[in-house]
Structure 1
């Protein structure tokens, strides 16, 4: 039974992190990713005899496994990795991490145990079927590890990795056709670990020819390994400083590429140190001596073919800083090279917390370009730990809007060059100059405060609701005087009035039906998931269709619906698909015993427990939760259990109430209290003593009643527990009886479909709550006029004066 991908990754990270000791994450990643590389190429060689990577017997992961527990394990690891490096010309690439370094890995037994546990952890991974297309075990494991290493490395050391979500945006906005031939080139002059390059190359089903340069030696080696891990063995990643010593040159000219991307270090002050040959890069102006942002931008521009396209991540300062940068910006705009600008949220990147932007360069049709398409995407993100992260809906919206050049109020706009060149703007590209993304101010209406009524202006601002529900406004409001209206229902009844509205009920049903139609369209494809399924293609197809279906629906933001599906995919469905692909529908649905593995720091919460105490057996149901089995096959048993549970709760309540009444000081049960508590044993002992001593009949009866309540509670709890045990046994047995059609019905209809329908219903409900909240806010804001408040104040003052007079106090 395979672990779910999410469990595998979290286990992998926790185990690796626990074995890290005091080593910095930026250093530790070199050890972990080297092991990942050796494991991957070893598995790949087993599955594919024609693999481009030659894995000798003494340079394989199996050789590492054989070294477990060896006193000289560190030295043996170095020898094994060296043999693999020699066989493939990878010296100084995969052998940079020293596995025999006592300062980093500990001495003697400490190193022996640490490395033995590490190699055992990686042995759980099986890459023989890996397709390395971004949704497979390798791709996801790599992204998971890199994200965590970058997060833990801090600002000064996390620059080796561009967040995967930002990389996807950059790759998509270049609009690379899916059938682009492999001969087309993509270039990154500051490629880091190479993940951005891979995301762009993957846009073509044939892959693109990859070229990159990286200054840091360890990061350059990481990029080389990353290329091989993702099937780009024919890459060309050079080492060195791109600005002072560009590697890709032809004579005195820079080599030109079809596409270019970059996330260069922000605002480098020493960019020109050692610069001798400018290669014609600064024909539109020389960047300031202490800020290298435009040096990288101009380098990329010069590296593009005449129809080349690029996307560069830079700090917002490049959009508005003056002097030399203003001159460069003006000249680039006049040449028409800048196609678009996308403002991103702050705190996305691991190297800095400042907000950045993506500048899109396009030499094709530059002469005829008359505007710059701008997007302010700064508000679309979710906070995750110490960083912000783009959600699936944020990525899709940015790409959709940019691709279609669609103008959306407070979000995107095609800004004419004439407006940018206007003296009031003077080629300043700061996005807020052209897109006001702030929410409209909520203005208080003085007349409404004086004379009552809700301003029609505020109601008109809710026009999208009235367009969707044409009759609702007249049902909730009636004119009071010109320009003002009153609620026709009490402010506290607004929500129910909306929910009872036929128009709203019809809207909710149509949203549910639309979701059902969408799911039915793709049900056959989902039911056909098998070992050959491409998960990334599957989710792309069904998610894009869901988004398209909700696009024309009024009120509902189709990207909100899309995000709910993608969140469910990443949290549950992807794991389900992974299990089915690896084990088929039948085996994936079978219960398995929970894992409690201290070495991997993995302890699972059971979904079902059979038996009790030490003899109990705990089960995990990864694909089909027990609740789905119970709901479909044992609803009567569950109803009976619910009754028994309610009876047990009622019995406990009666006991608690009786104790609260009588187990108090001077109460009938005060003689039995021990540290404020009364147990059944204490009550029975006191009853025996009371009878013997001839205590008051009231106390004896109270004790009898208390013991009866204790017995009633115990009997009720026992009945509920026995029913639960029986239901658990029935449920467990049912798993063994399930046919494949039944399994598919449970997963497809009861789990996936039902969950997405509920999510869409949640989107509809959130719209209702937003409208209700605004109605209540306006109703309460203008509920009492100033005249009414003054009258109330006068009335209160009169009462106070009367009270004072009655006690002889005169003002």
Structure 2
């Protein structure tokens, strides 16, 4: 059975748990990533005889397994990993973690157990089917770990990782043609762990030739491992300070490249230390300020681009508007036409800093002919993700669509003429809010409406997209009152019903459902044809782009919202399903399997969560259905039995409520059941014991009757629970047997139509419902705001004051 992404993530993070507490995250990542690397290259060597990484027997992961539990396991793991490093020119890359370090791993038995447990966690992983093609499990797992390590490390330790979402956007902003040969070069002068370079290479169908430089030795080692894990064994990454000692030079000049990406350290304060001025990086430009290296890195990148070269760079927002020498550098860059686009990103995206950043797209091709800069304000599009913000699929796609299509979207994107940027009032300041107003319109209180009544037509016009989608609805909800004002034609309490029950709203919802059905039917054959050669990323790209196109022409609906619903489901569930099918085929991935078992730190058995458990404690079998959970089989093949079970469940609920209600009434102090209560609770056993005593003592008839009644209620509840348990066991046995009878067509029907299609339809339906609720909420706000005029409120206050005065007079108080 193929390893699911979610299971892999869980196992990888549990390996970090073995080390947590004894060292900083920036240190224990070395142990986890080293074992991940050894396991991956060992598995790959078993199946790929042409693999560029040679794995000696005494440097393989199988050899590490043989060391588990031995007193000198730490020392021998170090030796084995060093053997692997020596055979592949990876000394100083994969052997940096010391598995025999008592300061970090403890001593004696503690170290022995910790290292053995780490090996055991990786032992059950199987990477023989992992592909280095941009959507491979290993690459995703590596990103998962790097993201978590960056989060855990905090401070400046996050510098080694650029969020994958930002990396993917930058790769697409380069617009690399599909026929680009692999010999085309891409360069990152501050490559960190290499994620940016990998994303760019993945965006080119034929791959690219990768170059990079990283100052920090440990981070450079991570990048080397990352390249190999992603199948980019022929990379050229060098260690050193790019500004002080650039490693890529030719005849005394900087080497130039076709494409460039970078996320340099923000506002680096010591960039001048050892800076080498001999490469002419500032020729024709001012020298950047001593205490801020943003433009030093940017000008290095400009110098490193070929005459037709293109680049994408992450920099802090300050580069867009800071003055003095930076303003003069910015002015010269604009005049030369090197800046093609600027994208403002949300704050708090990057690890180690919460300040907002921007993407600057460089393009030397036809630079002198450039008459404008394309600007995007994407600062509002994000989701909260723990302590950080994160770009959602919809945010990423909207940025790329706007840039590649040159789309001018109100409050979001526009081409800003250089003449406007050069105007004295702007003076080459590139601060995005100068050119794009993305602020929310103010919700204005209308004094005339408060004084004279009515709802301002201005407020109704503000939701015009709804009236475009539902042409008759405005007239049904409002009547003209006077010029520029309307009044509600329905009561506030009837707004929701009027909207949701209108024929146009119903037709709109049905139109959305029909569009989804047509899109899904059109892509069904593509899903049916999933085979071992299917690339998951290509599949979802095809399916998701078709969904976007299907919804672009529809009024009111946000196609990116529809896209987000699909991608959310893809990321949480569907991707794992597709990976299973690619690995094991439709039939193989649908077979039930026995749950995995393992032992925790205390040597106690742990079990994977099962869908169905058969047998008793000693002979129990725990079944897991990875692709098709039992509820889908039950719904399609055993609907009658499910209906009977639902009925029994209702009866059980009623029986339990009867017990609860009766005991709440009588099992209280001085109640009929109080003598049966122990430790503030009553049970059937306690009630039966009290009944025996009560009869023997000749207790009151009411108490005896109450005890008899509550015992009957408990018995009825127990019988109802047994009926539910028996019916559940029966359905589970039927479902388990049905799995063995499923044909390939059955499996595809259950997965494509019932599971995937059903989930996506529900999520898109929720998006439509949310649209309607947003209109209803806005109308209620307006209804409440202008429900009464100031005069009416004053009259009401006067009437209430008169009542209070009258009451006070009756009570003898006089004003």
Measured in 2, the distance between the counterparts of 1:805 and 1:365 equals 89
Partner of 2:35: 35
- Partners of 1:506 and 1:35 in 2: CA distance: 57
2:791 counterpart residue number: 787
Q: Does the C-alpha gap of structure 1 residues 493 and 278 become closer, same or farther in structure 2, counting only changes over 3 Å?
A: farther
**CA separation of 1:43 and 1:480: change in aligned 2, threshold 3 A:** same
- State the secondary structure of the residue aligned to 2:380: coil
Mapped partners of 1:597, 1:141: distance in 2: 21
**Post-superposition shift, 1:375?**
0.7
Q: Is the 8 Å Cα contact of residues 105 and 114 (structure 1) preserved in structure 2?
A: yes
Q: Does residue 1:188 correspond to 2:188, yes or no?
A: yes
In the alignment, what sits opposite 2:629? 625
In the TM superposition, residue 405 of structure 1 has moved relative to its aligned partner by 1.2
Shift in CA distance, 532/614, structure 1 to aligned 2, threshold 3 Å: same
Quote how far apart the aligned CAs of 1:334 are: 0.9
- Measured after TM superposition, the shift of residue 691 of structure 1 is 4.7
In 1, Cα distance between equivalents of 2:66 and 2:696: 77
Work out whether 1:159 is the aligned partner of 2:159. yes
2:362 counterpart SS class: strand
The structural deviation recorded for 1:355 is 0.9
Superposed displacement of residue 685, structure 1: 4.4
**Is the aligned partner of 1:198 residue 2:202?**
no
Distance 1:250 1:682, change over 3 A: closer
Residue in 2 aligned with 1:508? 509
In 2: Cα distance, 1:676 partner to 1:28 partner? 50
The 3 A distance-change label for structure 1 pair 704 and 356 is same
Using CA pairs under 8 Å that are at least 6 residues apart, name the structure with larger relative contact order, 1 or 2.
1
Q: Does 2:58 align with 1:58? A: yes
The aligned residue for residue 131 of structure 1 is: 131
Task: Answer yes or no: is the 8 Å Cα contact 2:44–2:51 preserved in 1.
Answer: yes
Distance verdict in 2 for CA 1:23–1:686, change over 3 Å? closer
Q: Which residue of structure 1 aligns with residue 749 of structure 2?
A: 745
1:189 touches 1:213 (CA, 8 Å); kept in 2?
yes
Aligned residues: 811
Partner of 1:322: 323
Alignment partner, residue 247 of structure 2:
247
Residue 78 of structure 1 contacts residue 100 of structure 1 at CA under 8 Å; is this kept in 2? yes
Q: CA deviation at 1:766?
A: 0.7
Name the CA shift for 1:780/1:583 in 2 (closer, same or farther; >3 Å). same
Change (3 A) 1:17 1:799: same
For residue 43 of structure 1, report the CA deviation from its aligned partner.
2.2
- Tell me the distance in 1 between the aligned counterparts of 2:65 and 2:691: 69
- Written as runs of structure 1 = structure 2, the 5 A alignment for 1:410-449 is 410-449=411-450
Shift of 1:396: 0.9
Deviation at 1:8, TM superposition (A): 1.8
Match of 2:569 in 1: 568
Residue 347 of structure 2 corresponds to residue 346 of structure 1: yes
Q: Quick one: structure 1 residues 205 and 713, their matched pair in 2 at CA, closer, same or farther if it must change by over 3 Å?
A: same
Deviations 1:731-767 (A, max 9, x none): 2222222222111111111000111111111111110
Partners of 1:95 and 1:765 in 2: CA distance: 55
With normalisation by structure 1, the TM-score equals: 0.96
Q: Does structure 1 conserve the Cα–Cα contact (< 8 Å) formed by 2:454 and 2:786?
A: yes
Superposed CA offset, 1:542-575 (max 9, x none) = 0111111111111111111111111101100011
User: 305-314 or 657-666, which moves further after superposition?
Assistant: 657-666
Instruction: Supply the distance in 1 between the matched residues of 2:90 and 2:680 (Cα, whole angstroms).
Output: 75
Work out whether 1:400 is the aligned partner of 2:401.
yes
DSSP 3-state at the match of 2:437? coil
Root-mean-square deviation (CA, aligned residues, Å) is 2.0
- Whether 2:769 is the aligned partner of 1:768: answer no
Q: Which residue of 2 aligns with 1:84?
A: 84
Unaligned runs of 5+ in 1: none
Measured against aligned partners, the alpha-carbon deviations of 1:385-436 in whole angstroms (never above 9, x if no partner) come to 2211111111111111111111111111111111111111111111111111
Alignment of 1:165-564 (within 5 A): 165-283=165-283, 284-564=285-565
Q: Which residue of 2 aligns with 1:728?
A: 732
Secondary structure at the residue paired with 1:333?
A: helix
Equivalent in the alignment of 1:801: 805
Structure 1 pair 612/38, CA: closer, same or farther in 2 (3 Å)?
A: closer
Q: CA deviation at 1:668?
A: 4.1
Tell me the distance in 2 between the aligned counterparts of 1:471 and 1:169.
Answer: 42
Contact 1:495 1:772 in 2 (8 A): yes
Deviation, structure 1 residue 682:
4.1
**How far apart, in 1, do the equivalents of 2:91 and 2:220 lie?**
13
| Structure-2 change in CA distance of 1:736 and 1:801 (3 Å) | same
Please say if residues 117 and 599 of structure 1, whose CA atoms lie closer than 8 Å, have aligned partners that are also in contact: no
Q: TM-score, normalised by structure 2?
A: 0.96
Verify the 8 A CA contact 1:133 1:139 in the aligned structure 2: no
Q: Secondary structure at the match of 1:651?
A: helix
Give the whole-Å Cα distance in 1 for the aligned partners of 2:71 and 2:698: 80
Unaligned runs of 5+ in 2: none
Cα 1:320–1:87, aligned 2, differ >3 Å: closer, same or farther? same
Per the alignment, residue 112 of structure 1 pairs with 112
Separation of aligned partners in 2, 1:654 and 1:81: 66
**Deviation digits for residues 483-527 of structure 1 (CA, Å, limit 9, x no counterpart):** 111112111221111111111111111111111111111111211
Q: Distance in 2 between matches of 1:793 and 1:572?
A: 59
Look up the SS of the partner of 1:623 in the other structure.
coil
**Aligned-pair distance for 1:313?**
0.5
The answer to whether the Cα contact below 8 Å between 2:18 and 2:114 also exists between their aligned partners in 1 is no
1:72 corresponds in structure 2 to 72
In structure 2, distance between residues paired with 1:503 and 1:469 = 5
Cα deviation for residue 149 of structure 1 reads 1.4
